[in-house]
Every structure is written in structure tokens, then in C-alpha cells.
């Protein structure tokens, strides 16, 4: 026994000594390791310089383009353009090569530089480079040709390229918003379909206001809009092609047709239709015009929105007693409830990125806009108000727009209604400037597939 | 008395635990450094020379400012493309790896002044109260009732430093050294961590941000500035734009002149001349 004791003891001692040696070595050799688990989420300071141009006209375009880019990036909340007054290096020498030290001093982490030229045939050539100031290297550099009147689109396309290179996600600046413009007294409200760039520029009205229009939605693939209009008192779903200017009836349905939305491939439209007081969800193939019924329940099923892969549909239903969100397969099978908090849920919209569903929640007399994962987890309410509703996603799934209506006073005055954008993190809520009251925004896909 | 043997069982059992216990200890014997400013400790009245700003790290080698002298050689001129919205990606200039952000000694006083002071022991960012760090994703408090997803899965993904990998490291190590002097203390490491964290501007809303853990290897200059920084997972940098975004944000944190030089004790240079930083955003995302 004593023998075995000593044997064990020495064995352990050797092993121990061995380990100590090993760890001693590891410890000694190891570089210093530090875990960084905290950070900040602040806009990235960047410098957007006026694009260089030789002639007066080119200089003007260069300055305008730079200011649109700076405004785009600033509005995203992810970038903080530095005041050009702080710039040290001038445009001409910058056109040769950036002096990174000059930009580090003013704390720029990225530098946008460009050049505008008029070609002999009267077109505009716009080139830009994005530099990483700290790493002192070019991150991306691209050139575009366009007709001069299109300079604004090019500026947005450049903004998208910068956004994409820095954030890893595609941008959303080269997009438009269609919405319902509202004017006149409550009793005689005129509602028109209107469209504008995502920054509020190039605004125009698409309908005259004689017929009531509701719920415009963009096709995810084309510059097409579905909307609901009352023609001679009958609600119908129309398709409007922006480029051709044509309005087309999607179909004549018995009963009331609501909440039309395109499928992610743009080939079908999903909507709800109410017959004899009960609303169900249908999908129509746009090529064949064949209609398929997806739900069949005595409760009200409405507001469908498809997942980006087209496999699932989120919708709302009061089948459990109160209005909640459900996800089912696109064939209509396996409806599963995903919302469980207090209050009612409405207008679910699946993010084009696929990772979140945005919704409106009504609780205790207040409205909230929120997001949750498709399985219902991780619900976050990102804004609230007297009335906030109708979230719509930017094509990159990073930003939401919605409308906010203020309460009106006892005489029916006030009640200002405006469109706002907000980052999905819940920060950076901003009004989108419109000429009159605005509701029901819908965000387009990227216009130029850049 | 006949049970002399008993202890032997114990030693055997204990034996298993030993390595783990040993391994964790990176705290040095000299915990409190006289030279280093303490943690956010509320300043008492007995104002000693303590809160004196040793911080003023005067950046010994005033590196040549301006990178103008860098050879403009590989000037990548984007070749014009055809019609309308044609685009071309340029061949990027060769990444100059050793981009050294030099602590510009002649930075303009006004702005830099405040920045310089930033790394003092007291977390200076007023707006970022500690609890705000909990998550960069906002949710309105009143109704914050949603069940959080548990983090079990994530934990699996966490880089572990288990026994096996320690052994592996040890055996692989070819430049094992034992003469690097006194160890870094926790408070010294914390100080650097805080410096870097202030400059890590992470992409909060990026998709799957929680799955991205970035490792960066640093070669340091004795003055506490970064000589070279390299993202370790270059393969994923090239294939996953979200990862690249997260990695670049981490890289910027290490190169940002506002957060340099790192406050590291010169006498322990051998300890920190090579560093590996692991950026893990999960806490920030509340996951």
C-alpha cells in the first residue's frame, strides 16, 4: 500500500511538474490577449469633398453631387459628414492623391473624393473613390456615365456604393417612396397617390384625387405599384406602371379586396378579400390571373406579407380572440401564432433581408412600431405615438418608414400626418418632408440595380 | 491508521482540477500599479497625487506626419466605362499593411485636447451611461417584455480556452520564451481595453452581427502606438461582406489616433509588443 502511495505520488508529481512547465510556457509565449466586448454605436465621421471639375458647370455638378451624397449618408444615421470648412487638403491636390494625415487630423475615418467631366457628346462622367483614412487605402472606386439631368440619381448611386462598401449591406438611396398625399378638411379629404425620391426630392402626384386611393405597395422587382382605389364606390386592386404611366385593374373580385402586396419575386400578389363578413387570404398569379385561397377560417385573416424566399406568409388574425400575428407556409399550411405580448398586432411586413418582421402594435390606447424575429422572438418596440402605422421596409431591410398622426383637437384641427423613417436599431427617427399630409408610405426597390 | 493510503486517492482526484486552476491565473503578483491610474473610483477628498494624469503619453517618436511621401506609385486610375450606369471596380492599391497611425504630435489643440484627455480613468463619455452599454438596440422600456433568446447556443460558439487547446498551443509554440519579465496586471489590461472600446464603433444593426467575432493581431511600438494590425480571418474577409464590415470596424478601433497611444507600461513591453484582440459584439447587442 505504501508502495502504491508513493508510486502514485511521484506519478502525480511528475504530471504536475509537466503541466506547470507547459502552462508556464504558454503563459510566457502568449501574446497579450484582450477581449473587446463593448463598443459604441456612433455615426462614422467621414469627409465628402466636392467632386473635382475643370469647368464652371462641372464644378457646380461636383458640388451638388457631393452635397446629395453627404445628405444621404448623414440621413442614414450611420455616418457623420464632417463640415467642409474643416478640410485641409483642397480638391485640386486631392485629385492627385489624398494626404491621409490631413484627414486624420480632422478625425475623418473615410474620405469620399470624386471628379466630374463633361464628355464631348454632352454626357456627364462621374467618378468617385472611397478611401479608408486610417488604413490608408482605397476601399472602392467607380465611374458612371449619365445625362446631366440625371445627376441626382448618380449621386444616390454613389451613396449606395459607399454605404455598401462600408456597411456590407446594399444601400437604399437610389429608391423612391410612393404614398398617399392627403389634403382638405376631414369631411372632404382628398387623397392622391404621390411619389418622391427617398430624400423627398423630385416629388410628383400620380392621381388626381377624384377617386379614393389606399394602400399603395411597390413591386419588389419592377417600378410598379399596386394600390386600392374606389371606382364608383367599388374598391379594386390596380397595378400602376410608373415608367409607362398605365393603370390596370388586377381583377374584379366579389366583395371587398384589401391589403394587396407583391410576392418577393414580383410575380404574384397576395391580398385579403372579404366575403359575407369573413376575410380570407388569397394569392393571385399575375401571369395567369389564377387565384388560390390560402386561409379558411371563421376568424378574420388579413394583412398578408411574404417572406423574401417566398416560402412563408405572415398575416394577422383574430382566431385566438384578439388580433395577433401568425406565420404559415405559402401553401396556407401550419399557421402558427408568433405574437404573444399584450395588446393587438397589425400590419406585419417581412423584411427583405428576411431576419425581422415589422408590425404595428396597439396597447393601452397607444400605437407602437416594432420588430421581431420570424419565430416571434426578440420583439423590440422602436417607436410609439398617438397613431403610428404602416411600416414599410427599405430594400436592404435596415430602415423602416411609417406614418405618424398627431391627435387633432376638439374642432378637428391639427392631426398632422407625416411620414418618418427610423433605423431598425430604434435610433435616428426623422421626418420625411412632404408638401402636405402624408400616410401609407411604400418603399421601392433600388431603381438602377446598382 | 491503516488508512495512510487514503490521501493518495485525494491527491489523484485533486490532480484533475489543478491545471484549470493554474491556468486562469493571469493576475500578477503585483496587482496595484503605483504608476497607473485607477479605475473609475469615486475621487475622495484625500486628493493625493493619484488622479494625476500620468496619462499624458507624449508619444515619444514623433512620427513623420503626413503620409505624403508615400509613393503615389500604384495610383489606381479607374478606367472609364461605357454607358450610363456602368461600373468598374479598381484594382485596389496594394494594401499597405503597416499603416501606422502616428500620434500626431502637432494635432490641432482644440479638438485633440478633449480627445487626449479622453483616456483618463474616468469613463468620459457622458452620454453613454454604463447601462446604456447593455444593448445598442433600442427598445421602448415600458413594453419590453419579450422573452430574450437564451444565449446557450452562442456560448458554444465562444472561443474556448480549454485544456486541450492550451496544450496544443503550448506544443506548437516554437518560440517559447520565459524571460519576458513581470506580467501585465488586470488593471493595466483594463485600461487598454477601455481605450479601444471607446474607439470601436461597431455596426450595430448589421445582419447576424452576433455571430461575428473578430480577432486582430497587433505588433506594437514601444511608445504604445500600433505598428501593424492584421485581421486574422482573411478568408472570411474576402467572402463575407458583413464580416468584413465588422472586421474593418474593429481594425479602425485599433488604428484610430484618438485612442492611441495605448497606455501600457514601457517596462513590460516584452509582454505586450504582440497582442491579440478579440472583438465580440454580443454583449452590445443584448444577446
Q: Which of A446, A438, A450 is nearest to A193 (CA)?
A: A438
Q: Which of residues 317-346 of A touch B (CB under 8 A)?
A: 341-342
Q: A171: helix, coil or strand?
A: coil
For residue B132, the chain A residue with the least C-alpha distance is A40
User: pLDDT (tens digit, 9 = 90+) per residue, A148-164?
Assistant: 999 999 999 999 999 99
Instruction: Report the pLDDT value the prediction gives residue A354, as an integer from 0 to 100.
Output: 92
Which residues of A are less than 8 Å from B252 in CB distance? 109, 132, 134-135
Q: Which residue has the higher pLDDT, B123 or A399?
A: A399
What are the structural domains, with CATH classification, of chain B?
184-287 (3.30.1150.10)
Q: Which helix (H) or strand (E) holds A129?
A: strand A124-132
* Partner-chain residue, chosen from A381, A397, A450, that has the shortest CB–CB distance to B143: A381
| DSSP 8-class letter at A86 | G
Binning pLDDT at 50, 70 and 90, where does residue B58 land? very low
Give B174 or A372, the one with higher predicted confidence: A372
Give the model confidence (pLDDT) of A198-213 as tens digits. Answer: 999 999 998 888 888 8
Q: Between A190 and A4, where is the model more confident?
A: A190
Phi/psi of residue B161, nearest 5 degrees: -115, 75
Residue B99, pLDDT > 50, answer: no
Helix boundaries (H) for B88-229: 109-117, 152-157, 163-172, 186-199
pLDDT at A290: 87
Buried b (16+ CB within 10 A) or exposed e, A115-139: bbbbeeeebbbbbbbbbbbbbbbbb
ipTM confidence score: 0.72
pLDDT of residue A383: 95
Mean pLDDT of A272-294: 87
Per-residue pLDDT for A16 more than 60? no
Q: Tell me what pLDDT residue B153 has.
A: 41
Chain-chain contact of A36 with B201 (C-beta, under 8 angstroms): no
- pLDDT surpassing 50 at residue B19: no
pLDDT of residue A250 exceeding 90, the answer is no
State percent of chain A over pLDDT 70.
91
Shortest distance, CA A153 to any CA of chain B (angstroms): 10
Residue of A nearest to B219 (CA): A31
Average pLDDT over every residue of B161-177? 52
pLDDT at A259: 75
- pLDDT tops 60 at residue A94: yes
Residue B162 has pLDDT above 90, yes or no: no
Cell of A399: 430602415
Beta bridge partners of A80: A45
Q: Using pLDDT thresholds of 50, 70 and 90, give the confidence band for residue A255.
A: low
Per-residue pLDDT band at B165 (split at 50, 70, 90) = low
A to B CB pairs, distance under 8 Å: 294
More reliable by pLDDT, B282 or B179: B282
Taking residue B177's Cβ as centre, other Cβ atoms within 10 Å add up to: 10
What the block records as the C-alpha cell of B53 is 494624469
Kindly state the helix (H) or strand (E) to which residue A18 belongs, with its residue range: helix A2-29
More confident: B154 or A372: A372
When computed from its CA atoms, the radius of gyration of chain B, rounded to whole angstroms, is 24
Has residue B93 got a pLDDT over 70?
Answer: no
| Least confident residue range of A97-101, B160-164, B236-240 | B160-164
Work out the pLDDT band at B135, boundaries 50, 70, 90.
low
* Helix ranges (DSSP H) in A38-171: 56-75, 91-94, 100-105, 151-167
- B267 burial (CB, 10 Å; 0-12 / 13-18 / 19+) is exposed
Q: A27: pLDDT confidence band, cut at 50, 70 and 90?
A: very low
- C-alpha span between A119 and A124 (Å, rounded): 6
The whole-number pLDDT of residue A10 equals 52
Give the model's pLDDT for residue B61: 38
CB of A27 within 8 Å of any CB in chain B? yes
For residues A217-236, one letter each, b for 16 or more C-beta atoms within 10 angstroms of the residue's C-beta and e for the rest, the string is bbbbeebbbbbbbeeeeebb
Band of pLDDT at residue A412, cut at 50, 70 and 90 = low
- Beta-strand (E) ranges in chain B? 214-220, 226-231, 274-279
What pLDDT sits at residue B83? Answer: 37
pLDDT of A178 over the 60 cut: yes
**Residue A129 touches partner B, C-beta closer than 8 Å:** yes
Domains along chain A with CATH numbers: 44-167 (3.40.50.10070), 176-443 (2.120.10.30)
Amino acid at each position: 500500500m505504501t508502495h502504491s502511495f508513493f508510486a502514485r505520488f511521484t506519478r502525480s508529481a511528475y504530471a504536475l511538474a509537466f503541466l506547470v512547465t507547459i502552462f508556464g510556457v504558454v503563459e510566457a509565449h502568449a501574446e497579450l490577449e484582450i477581449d473587446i466586448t463593448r463598443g459604441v454605436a456612433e455615426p462614422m465621421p467621414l469627409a465628402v469633398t466636392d467632386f473635382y471639375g475643370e469647368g464652371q458647370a462641372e464644378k457646380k455638378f461636383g458640388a451638388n453631387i457631393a452635397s446629395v451624397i453627404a445628405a444621404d449618408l448623414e440621413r442614414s444615421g450611420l455616418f457623420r459628414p464632417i463640415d467642409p470648412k474643416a478640410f485641409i487638403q483642397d480638391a485640386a491636390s486631392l485629385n492627385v492623391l489624398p494626404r491621409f494625415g490631413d484627414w486624420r487630423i480632422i478625425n475623418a475615418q473615410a474620405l469620399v473624393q470624386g471628379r466630374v467631366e463633361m464628355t464631348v457628346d454632352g454626357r456627364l462622367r462621374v467618378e468617385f473613390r472611397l478611401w479608408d483614412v486610417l488604413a490608408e487605402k482605397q476601399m472602392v472606386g467607380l465611374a458612371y456615365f449619365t445625362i446631366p439631368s440625371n445627376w441626382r440619381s448618380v449621386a444616390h448611386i454613389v451613396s449606395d456604393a459607399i454605404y455598401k462598401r462600408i456597411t456590407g449591406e446594399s444601400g437604399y438611396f437610389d429608391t423612391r417612396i410612393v404614398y398617399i398625399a392627403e389634403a382638405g378638411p376631414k369631411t372632404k379629404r382628398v387623397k392622391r397617390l404621390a411619389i418622391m425620391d427617398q430624400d423627398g426630392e423630385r416629388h410628383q402626384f400620380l392621381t388626381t384625387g377624384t377617386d379614393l386611393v389606399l394602400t399603395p405597395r411597390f413591386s419588389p422587382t419592377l417600378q410598379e405599384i399596386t394600390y386600392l382605389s374606389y371606382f364608383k364606390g367599388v374598391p379594386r386592386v390596380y397595378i400602376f406602371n410608373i415608367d409607362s404611366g398605365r393603370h390596370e385593374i388586377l381583377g374584379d373580385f366579389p366583395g371587398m379586396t384589401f391589403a394587396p402586396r407583391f410576392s418577393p419575386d414580383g410575380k404574384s400578389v397576395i391580398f385579403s378579400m372579404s366575403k359575407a363578413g369573413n376575410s380570407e387570404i388569397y394569392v393571385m398569379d399575375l401571369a395567369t390571373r389564377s387565384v388560390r385561397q390560402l386561409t379558411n377560417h371563421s376568424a378574420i385573416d388579413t394583412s398578408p406579407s411574404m417572406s423574401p424566399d417566398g416560402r412563408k406568409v405572415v398575416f394577422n388574425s383574430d382566431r385566438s380572440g384578439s388580433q395577433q400575428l401568425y406565420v404559415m407556409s405559402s401553401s396556407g399550411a401550419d399557421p402558427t401564432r408568433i405574437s404573444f405580448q399584450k395588446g393587438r398586432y397589425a400590419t406585419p411586413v417581412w423584411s427583405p433581408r428576411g431576419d425581422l418582421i415589422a408590425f404595428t402594435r396597439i396597447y393601452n390606447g397607444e400605437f407602437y412600431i416594432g420588430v421581431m424575429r420570424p419565430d416571434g422572438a426578440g420583439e423590440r418596440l422602436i417607436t410609439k405615438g398617438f397613431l403610428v402605422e404602416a411600416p414599410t421596409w427599405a430594400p436592404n431591410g435596415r430602415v423602416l418608414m411609417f406614418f405618424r398622426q398627431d391627435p387633432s383637437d376638439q374642432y378637428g384641427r391639427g392631426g398632422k400626418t407625416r411620414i418618418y423613417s427610423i433605423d431598425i436599431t430604434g435610433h435616428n427617427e426623422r421626418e420625411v418632408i412632404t408638401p402636405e399630409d402624408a400616410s401609407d408610405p411604400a418603399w421601392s426597390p433600388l431603381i438602377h440595380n446598382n | 491508521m491503516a488508512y495512510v493510503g487514503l490521501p493518495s486517492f485525494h491527491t489523484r482526484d485533486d490532480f484533475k482540477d489543478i491545471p484549470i486552476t493554474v491556468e486562469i491565473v493571469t493576475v500578477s503578483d503585483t496587482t496595484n500599479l503605483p504608476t497607473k491610474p485607477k479605475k473609475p473610483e469615486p475621487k475622495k477628498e484625500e486628493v493625493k497625487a493619484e488622479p494625476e494624469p500620468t496619462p499624458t503619453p507624449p508619444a515619444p517618436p514623433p512620427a513623420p506626419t503626413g503620409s505624403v511621401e508615400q509613393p503615389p506609385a500604384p495610383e489606381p486610375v479607374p478606367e472609364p466605362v461605357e454607358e450610363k450606369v456602368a461600373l468598374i471596380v479598381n484594382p485596389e492599391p496594394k494594401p499597405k499593411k503597416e499603416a501606422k497611425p502616428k500620434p500626431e504630435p502637432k494635432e490641432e489643440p482644440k479638438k485633440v485636447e478633449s480627445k487626449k484627455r479622453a483616456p483618463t480613468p474616468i469613463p468620459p463619455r457622458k452620454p453613454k451611461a454604463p447601462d446604456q452599454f447593455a444593448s445598442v438596440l433600442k427598445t421602448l422600456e415600458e413594453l419590453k417584455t419579450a422573452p430574450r433568446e437564451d444565449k446557450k447556443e452562442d456560448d458554444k460558439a465562444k472561443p474556448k480556452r480549454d485544456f486541450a487547446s492550451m496544450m496544443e498551443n503550448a506544443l506548437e509554440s516554437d518560440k517559447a520564451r520565459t524571460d519576458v519579465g513581470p506580467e501585465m496586471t488586470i488593471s493595466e489590461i483594463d485600461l487598454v481595453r477601455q481605450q479601444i472600446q471607446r474607439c470601436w464603433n461597431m455596426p450595430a444593426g448589421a445582419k447576424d452581427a452576433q455571430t461575428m467575432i473578430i480577432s486582430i493581431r497587433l505588433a506594437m511600438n514601444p511608445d504604445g502606438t500600433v505598428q501593424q494590425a492584421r485581421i486574422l480571418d482573411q478568408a472570411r474577409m474576402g467572402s463575407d461582406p458583413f464580416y468584413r464590415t465588422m472586421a474593418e470596424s474593429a481594425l479602425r478601433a485599433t488604428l484610430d489616433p484618438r485612442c492611441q497611444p495605448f497606455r501600457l507600461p514601457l517596462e513590460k513591453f516584452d509582454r505586450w509588443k504582440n497582442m491579440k484582440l478579440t472583438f465580440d459584439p454580443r454583449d452590445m447587442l443584448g444577446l
